[in-house]
Amino acid sequence: MPDDPSDPVQSECFLVGDPLAFNVVSMQACFHEFRRRRSAQFIVGLCLLHLIPIWGFTFVPTQDGLSHLYNAYILKEWKNPEYTKFHEVYSLNLTLFPNWSTHAFFFIALHVFPPLIVEKLFLTICVLLYPLSFNFLLSAIDRRLRIFGLLGFLYSYNYLLQLGFYNFALSVPLCLIAIGYWWKHRGDFQIAHAAVLNLLLIATYFSHLGSYTLLVFALSSLALFDFLKHLFQWREGLQKLLQFVGYLLPAYFVLLNSFLANFESNESVYKSGEFLWDYFINVKSLVYFNDSYLPISWILLGVVCFCIAWTLIERVCEKRIFESRDGFLFIAIVLTVLYFRLPWQYGPPAWINDRIHLYIFPILLGWFAVPRYVWVKHGLTATMLLISMWHLGLTIRDYHLLNKDMREFMSGTHLIEPNSTISNLRVTDYHGSEHHGPVKYVAPMLGGVSFYCLGNGCLYDGNYEPKYDYFPLQYKDGHWKFKYLGGPVDYWLAWYVDAQHEEVKALAEDYQLIHETKNLKLFRRRSKPTRGRMGNQTNGGFKKLPCGSCPTDLGNAFPMPP
C-alpha cells in the first residue's frame, strides 16, 4: 500500500487508483512507481503467495467446482455427434438468469485450455479480486482505511469458495467494487459513471442474485444517507438523489422482475439460534476443512471489536453525530439482523445465512475510524498480516493433504470408455480423507465423479445442476438426478465403502471390479448383464440399489446455486 497518499503519481497506479479508468500513461507511471515502492512490491508478493494453493497442486479441493466445470464441458461438446448421452438426457436452458458468469467463462476457456487449467484461471481471477476489491472500496471511502485492505487476502479463501460456489464467490468482490465506484464518484455522478455502475450491476447480477440484491440495497441506502448528511442543502441533495434513482431504474426493474418471476411459496428450513450464533461468533465463513482455522477467526473478531470500540470513542470525543459513512454501519446492522432472521434454505436456495455473513465485516470496514497513533496502526497491520498468512498456510497444508486423496479418487479415470454412463454408490463417504482426516465442513470428493466425465463425453447420472432452472442445462423426458432411463449404468464408483457392504456385494452379479485402491473401487458392467440389482427399475429390468443406509437424498443435500 502506498506510503504517500498525496503523491499524484501513486493516484494513477492501478493497485490503488480506479481499476476501471486506467490507461497506457497510468500503466507506465504505475510500473515506475512499482519499481520504487517497496509497499507495492510487497502487495504483489502477497498476491503471488495466495496463488500457491491454486497453482501449486493438481486439484482444487472444492465441493461443487468440478461439477460446474463438467456442465460447462457439456455445453462445449453439445454439438459433438459422438457424444449422444447429453442430448438424450438434457435440454438447453439458455435464458438470461443469474449464475451465468462461471459457465460462460468455462465454456469459452475450455476451447483453449484443459479443464483443470480453466478452473485454475477462473480461481486466480476470483482470489485476486478480493484484495483488489477491499483496497478499492476502502480507498474510495477514506485512503487511511487502506490498512484494512490486508483483510482482502484473508477473505480470498473462504467457506463459500471451498463449497465450490464459484458464481457467488465471484459476485462478492464485484459487489464491493461497485459500491466503491459509486462512493468515489457520488459527488459528481454523471451519465458515464452511471453507465459503468450499471455494467458492474449487470456483472454482479449474472454472477449471483443474492449479491445483486445486496448491491442494489447498499447503493440505495448509501445514497439516502448521503442525502440526509447534506439535508441543509436539501434542494441540491434531492436532485442528486432523484438523479441516482433514475440512473438505477433499470437495476430496480431487473430486481423486481427477478423476485416476481420467482414469487412462490416454498418450504423454509431454519437453523437453530445456537447454530447461527456459533457460526457468527466463530466467523465460520472463513473456516472450511477443519477447526484449525478457528483461532484465526477469533483474532479477526477481536480486531473488529477493537475497531468498533475505537470508532465509537473517537466519534463521541469529536462529537461527530452523523456522517455519510454511517450508511455502512446501517447496512452491516441490517445484514446482521437478516443473518439471524432469514431461513438457511428457502426452496432450492440454501446457505443463505452463510452468504450474508460473508459480507458483514467487509461492509463494516467502511465505517471504521483509523487510529491516529502510529503504534496502533502498526499493531493492526501486523495482526492482519499475521492472520492472513496463517490462514494461507493452513490452506496450503490442507490442499497438499487433500490432493493426495483426490489423486487416489481420480486414479481410475483412464479406464472409462467414451460416451458411457457413470454413477456412484449413495453410501459413498464424500468427507472421507485418509491423509487429511475427515473433512468437517465441505465434501471435496462430491464433485469428483464429474472429473471422470471430462474429455470423454460420459454422462454422470448424479449431476445436480439440471434439476434447477438457474443453470444452463435441464433434465428432460423423465430423466433426473440418479434416475437415468437409457439403460443400465456402465460404471459404478465407491469411495470409503467397505467391501462387505450390501451395495458393493450387489454389484458382483452384473459388474466387474476393474480398479481398486485402498479407498476406491471402480466397477464396470459386464458385456451381457443378468437381471440383477443395479440400475433403475426402468433400465431393462435392472433394479435400484438399496439405499436404506443413505443419510439423505443427495439431490436435495446441496441445492443452492453457486
pLDDT tens digits for range 467-476: 998 899 999 9
Per-residue pLDDT, 553: 37
Closest CA to 501 of 544, 549, 461, 543: 549
Per-residue pLDDT, 179: 98
Per-residue pLDDT, 116: 97
Q: What average pLDDT does the segment 156-168 reach? A: 97
pLDDT at 435 over 70: yes
pLDDT of 452-465, one tens digit each? 999 999 999 999 99
Domain ranges of the chain: 65-93+405-557, 116-370
pLDDT at 259 over 90: no
Per-residue pLDDT, 208: 96
Average pLDDT value for the chain: 88
The full 3-state SS of 331-389, as one line of letters, equals HHHHHHHHHHHCCCEECCCCCHHHHHHHHHHHHHHHHCCCCCCHHHHHHHHHHHHHHHH
Higher pLDDT, 89 or 2: 89
Give the range among 34-43, 184-193, 301-310, 331-340 with minimum mean pLDDT. Answer: 34-43
pLDDT band per the 50, 70, 90 thresholds, residue 531: very low
pLDDT band per the 50, 70, 90 thresholds, residue 233: confident
What does the chain come to in residues? 562
pLDDT of 70-80, one tens digit each? 999 999 999 99
Q: First-to-last CA distance in the chain? A: 32
Per-residue pLDDT, 334: 98
pLDDT at 3 over 60: no
Per-residue pLDDT, 33: 67
pLDDT band per the 50, 70, 90 thresholds, residue 25: low
Give me the percent of the chain exceeding a pLDDT of 70: 87
CA distance 474 to 464: 10
Higher pLDDT, 541 or 317: 317
Per-residue CA distances from 342 to 4, 278, 336, 464 (Å): 44, 16, 10, 25
pLDDT of 264-275, one tens digit each? 667 899 999 999
CA max distance for the chain: 85
pLDDT at 6 over 80: no
Give the range among 10-24, 34-48, 96-110, 149-163 with minimum mean pLDDT. Answer: 10-24
pLDDT at 376 over 60: yes
* Residue whose cell numbers read 440512473: 247
What single-letter amino acid sits at 282? N
Q: What average pLDDT does the segment 403-425 reach? A: 96
Q: Residue 202 has which C-alpha cell?
A: 449487470
pLDDT at 14 over 50: no
The full 3-state SS of 136-171, as one line of letters, equals HHHHHHCHHHHHHHHHHHHHCCCHHHHCCCHHHHHH
Q: Work out the angle at residue 467's Cα, subtended by the Cα atoms of residues 469 and 157, and round it to the nearest 5 degrees.
A: 85
Higher pLDDT, 263 or 358: 358
Per-residue pLDDT, 130: 98
> Rounded to two decimals, what is the model's pTM?
0.88
pLDDT of 480-508, one tens digit each? 999 999 999 999 999 999 988 999 999 98
Per-residue pLDDT, 239: 85
Q: How many helices (H) and strands (E) does the chain have?
A: 23, 9
pLDDT at 361 over 60: yes
> Residue 206: is it exposed, middle or buried by C-beta count within 10 angstroms (0-12/13-18/19+)?
buried
